[in-house]
Amino acid sequence: MDPNLRPVAVKRVQKHWDQPKNATPPPQLTVYNSLTRQKEVFVPNEGKRVRWYICGPTVYDSSHMGHARSYLSLDILRRVFRDYFGYDVEFIMNITDVDDKIIKRARQSHLLKSYFNESQAPPVMKVCEDVVAALEHFKTKFETEMDPDKKKMFEVMIKKVQQQSSALEEAMKAQDSIATEEAKGRLLNESRDVLSEWLDHNHGKDVRDHSVFDDLAKTYEKEFLADMARLNVLPVDVLTRVSEYVPEVITYVKKIISNGYAYAAEDGSVYFDTKAFEQNPKHFYAKLVPEAYGEDSEQLLKNMKESEGELSMSDDRLKSKRSPNDFALWKSSKDGEPFWPSEWGNGRPGWHIECSVMSSAICGSKLDIHAGGFDLKFPHHDNEIAQVEAHYDDPHWVNYFLHCGTLRIQGMKMSKSLKNFITIRKALEDYTPRQLRLLFLMHNWADVLDYSSSTMERALQFEKITNEFFLLVKDFLRRHYKPDRSEGYQKFQGKELKLMEEFGKLKSEVHEALCDSVDTRSVIEKFRELISLGNAYIVEKEKEGHVPNCLLLRNIAAYITNLLKIFGAIPQSNQEIGFVSEDECNGEGASTSFNKEAVVMPYLDALAQFREKVRLIAKEHKVNGILEECDTLRDKTLTELGVRLEDRNGQTVVKLVDRATLLREQEQKDTEKKRKDKEKADKEQKAREKADKEAAAKKIKPEELFKQGEHVGKYSKFDERGVPTHLADGTEITKSQIKKLEKVYEAQKKKYQQ
């Protein structure tokens, strides 16, 4: 063929590629923003950098579970933002170490201590006089209290004092000196709060030593930080104390005045001018709770009392404000209060100003996130917003305001002021830091949470099923996970493909839940589903006599572990799958560098296998002594060491469990065994009694049968065999009845002859 006629080869080019169509776009992170009262897509001001400020505690008493609710939930949020979504979070918290509550509590403890010291053994008459006077004073406080919960608490306190007073009176009347002394002690103890209120009213102004206030704040700050570390709350990046920022507060307040949004009153206090602020069209007062501005005076007064502080609500102070909504930026200090010099005279910062000043000092004029407890929304956070916006004269400060839901106990907010609190320390005596964290993970951070033993029980139950899953998977992995060998990779059959599909679906749902305002509650539910799917898969494979696929099980367990690490429930340093035993956690909740599991497991596996073989031989040869020893090794010796041996389809599964948990389990087992033993002994006893009764019955001669035992007094005449013919009252017995009695007679005759 003529080569010129050959068709020219068409140059083949890269085939056109189509971008995947109909792909679902990944969900975006949204957060519930109190400023809009809905979920908003999260967009930081500056790339991945997130400036985040949270209100810290007022350090005048021990931290309680209500505080844990806020700080632990915020710790979870912070970790998710940082370690799941990859934001560069700068986390700033303040400590309120100058405040009306601190001043009052410090003076009261100081005065009460002196009262007890001076009058080591106050004569009984003096105690009576003082308590009566203190009670009178306290009743006025009770009558003027507007908060119904506090009122109720005061009422209980008054009643208790009155009860102890009556007891003392009776002991005195009876002239029983020992009983009188004891009753006096009880009265003094019960009257502590009432007496300290009274002492403070009379002598508070004489407390001039500033170390009284500083010491109290330092003590509780230390306690708070130690509690947070015990709960495995990450240390903040910056901690600010108002006592360290007073010069900055003064400068800040001056700027607000010069911008026209604050004024100095005659007594040396400075107030925020809410009207001036609100009247400027650029600004808006009470962005979070607009309903609260210009409320009826009673509610306003209640809010003011709580937020301005008890020491700052005197009539003359109220009169010097231009509007009842105005709040103090700077409070002139009275006698018995700490003070710093300023151009307005000796004074101290108001509560709200500290957060505005300190967050501005660290983060500048813009914040991405501001957070705190739900109760801080109004007036604290609304006032913080107004102050910063007045200072910069710029209506944009915080982009996202997050408020943690309140923790309640028996339907009431857990609070220091209501004295219905459970300290973090006490809670940690009953539960581990991990269990408390799981409790918070199981509730949406923005929801109300009722703290009770039943809510804790649910957290414990989740911990148990998750832990058992981890331990079981780890046992399989120890025996069958061989990633360095060909036999470690098995073909994925129907069950594996199905599980992998469900696993993938659940992972997407977990991601969606985290994007949905960090909904850890749903994530925990997804974990539950995943674990039951995993467990069901294992059981099915075992039924078929096959080893479950270790790659798949390992991926599931590692996925859950990893998220629990992000949530702070498992130390980041843990290289293994599953929880770290509480025995291995040090005080800060981090795992020790020594990995107990990796070291001891090979030896424990060898021991378990040896035990199993010895047991089989002992069973075969019926050597009970060896079987008993094998039981003791499992139930006592290894339990004490935190090791659980379980029988699963003829294989011994080895699990490392917290020693305390194992001992508790063993205790339950012992109790159950005792109950069963008792039940068995009772049954045997009853059977013996029955047999004895029957044996005795057999010995009765048939002719005597109707004349003894239950028959005595029933009949008056008998025939020659001893069968009754007449009832006790002389009436003749009917023929059919006699027939029945004859049957009984014949049966007895047979028994007797036997």
Ligand X SMILES: Nc1ncnc2c1ncn2[C@@H]1O[C@H](COP(=O)(O)OP(=O)(O)OP(=O)(O)O)[C@@H](O)[C@H]1O
Q: Which residues bind Zn ion (CB under 5 A)?
A: 55, 355
- List the single partner that 66 binds among Zn ion, ligand X, none, CB under 5 to 8 Å by kind: ligand X
Look at strands 398-404 and 88-95 and give their pairing: unpaired
Nearer to Zn ion, 153 or 369 (CB): 369
C-beta of 356: minimal distance to Zn ion in Å?
8
C-beta of 455: minimal distance to ligand X in Å?
14
Span of 62-70, 127-135, 236-244, 275-283 interacting with ligand X by CB under 6 A:
62-70
C-beta of 391: minimal distance to ligand X in Å?
23
C-beta of 590: minimal distance to ligand X in Å?
25
Binding mask 377-406 for ligand X (x = CB under 6 A): ---------------------------x-x
- List the single partner that 355 binds among Zn ion, ligand X, none, CB under 5 to 8 Å by kind: Zn ion
The correct pick among 67, 317, 352, 443 for binding ligand X (CB under 6 A) is 67
Told to check if 372 binds ligand X by CB under 6 A, we report yes
Residue 385 tokens read as 């917003």
Nearer to ligand X, 234 or 614 (CB): 234
Told to check if 644 binds ligand X by CB under 6 A, we report no
Told to check if 376 binds ligand X by CB under 6 A, we report yes
Told to check if 375 binds ligand X by CB under 6 A, we report yes
Residues 6 or more apart in contact with residue 335 via CB below 8 angstroms: 205, 206, 208
Distance in angstroms (rounded) separating the CA atoms of residues 287 and 34:
9
Nearer to ligand X, 416 or 634 (CB): 416
The interface with ligand X within residues 405-434 (CB under 6 A) comprises: 406-407, 413-417
574: nearest Cα among 546, 545, 556, 598: 598
Binding mask 7-46 for ligand X (x = CB under 6 A): ----------------------------------------
> According to the 3-state scheme, what is the secondary structure of 718-737?
ECCCCCEEEECCCCECCHHH
Residue 521 tokens read as 């509650």
Query: Which residues pair with residue 38 across a beta bridge?
Result: 33
C-beta of 55: minimal distance to ligand X in Å?
5
Nearer to ligand X, 356 or 581 (CB): 356
Greatest Cα pair distance in the chain: 145
Nearer to Zn ion, 59 or 355 (CB): 355
Told to check if 350 binds ligand X by CB under 6 A, we report no
Span of 13-21, 236-244, 373-381, 740-748 interacting with ligand X by CB under 6 A:
373-381
Backbone φ and ψ for 450, nearest 5 degrees, come out as -95, 115
- List the single partner that 360 binds among Zn ion, ligand X, none, CB under 5 to 8 Å by kind: none
Backbone φ and ψ for 681, nearest 5 degrees, come out as -60, -40
CA distances from 112 to 118, 162, 212, 416 (A): 10, 20, 13, 19
Coil, strand or helix: which one is 145? coil
Nearer to ligand X, 95 or 585 (CB): 95
C-beta of 412: minimal distance to ligand X in Å?
9
398: nearest Cα among 429, 371, 430: 371
Q: Which helix (H) or strand (E) holds 92?
A: strand 88-95
Nearer to Zn ion, 58 or 467 (CB): 58
394: nearest Cα among 235, 190, 256, 221: 256
Residues 6 or more apart in contact with residue 426 via CB below 8 angstroms: none
Nearer to ligand X, 221 or 278 (CB): 221
Nearer to ligand X, 58 or 661 (CB): 58
C-beta of 417: minimal distance to ligand X in Å?
4
**Contact, 477 vs 601, CB < 8 A?**
no
Residue type at 322?
R
- List the single partner that 323 binds among Zn ion, ligand X, none, CB under 5 to 8 Å by kind: none
The correct pick among 55, 72, 106, 654 for binding ligand X (CB under 6 A) is 55
Nearer to ligand X, 96 or 164 (CB): 96
Torsion of CA 461, 467, 471, 474, to 10 degrees: 140
> According to the 3-state scheme, what is the secondary structure of 271-307?
EECHHHHHHCCCCCCCCCCHHHCCCCHHHHHHHHHHH
C-beta of 423: minimal distance to ligand X in Å?
11
How many beta carbons lie within 10 A of that of residue 281, not counting itself? 7
- List the single partner that 157 binds among Zn ion, ligand X, none, CB under 5 to 8 Å by kind: none
CA atoms within 13 A on the CB side of 314: 10
Place of tokens 């007797």: 752
C-beta of 53: minimal distance to Zn ion in Å?
8
Place of tokens 């992995």: 477
Told to check if 240 binds ligand X by CB under 6 A, we report no
Told to check if 702 binds ligand X by CB under 6 A, we report no
Told to check if 232 binds ligand X by CB under 6 A, we report no
Q: Calculate ∠ Cα 232-238-243, nearest 5°.
A: 110
Torsion of CA 334, 336, 338, 339, to 10 degrees: 30
Nearer to Zn ion, 71 or 537 (CB): 71
Nearer to ligand X, 94 or 661 (CB): 94
Nearer to ligand X, 164 or 423 (CB): 423
**Contact, 168 vs 184, CB < 8 A?**
yes
The correct pick among 373, 548, 578, 642 for binding ligand X (CB under 6 A) is 373
**Contact, 59 vs 95, CB < 8 A?**
yes
Q: Which helix (H) or strand (E) holds 724?
A: strand 724-727
C-beta of 403: minimal distance to Zn ion in Å?
12
C-beta of 67: minimal distance to ligand X in Å?
4
Q: How many residues bind ligand X (CB under 6 A)?
A: 19
Span of 63-71, 153-161, 230-238, 382-390 interacting with ligand X by CB under 6 A:
63-71
Distance in angstroms (rounded) separating the CA atoms of residues 61 and 96:
12
CA distances from 745 to 5, 704, 708, 742 (A): 129, 10, 13, 5
DSSP state, residue 51: E
Torsion of CA 533, 535, 539, 540, to 10 degrees: 20
The correct pick among 33, 58, 423, 661 for binding ligand X (CB under 6 A) is 58
Distance of CA 94 to the CA centre of its chain: 23
Distance in angstroms (rounded) separating the CA atoms of residues 405 and 446:
4
C-beta of 133: minimal distance to Zn ion in Å?
38
Nearer to Zn ion, 53 or 138 (CB): 53
Q: Which residue is nearest to ligand X (CB)?
A: 373
**Contact, 270 vs 320, CB < 8 A?**
no
C-beta of 54: minimal distance to ligand X in Å?
7
Span of 30-38, 39-47, 67-75, 467-475 interacting with ligand X by CB under 6 A:
67-75
The correct pick among 32, 53, 69, 97 for binding ligand X (CB under 6 A) is 69
C-beta of 415: minimal distance to ligand X in Å?
3
Binding site for ligand X (CB under 6 A): 55, 57-58, 66-67, 69-70, 372-373, 375-376, 404, 406-407, 413-417
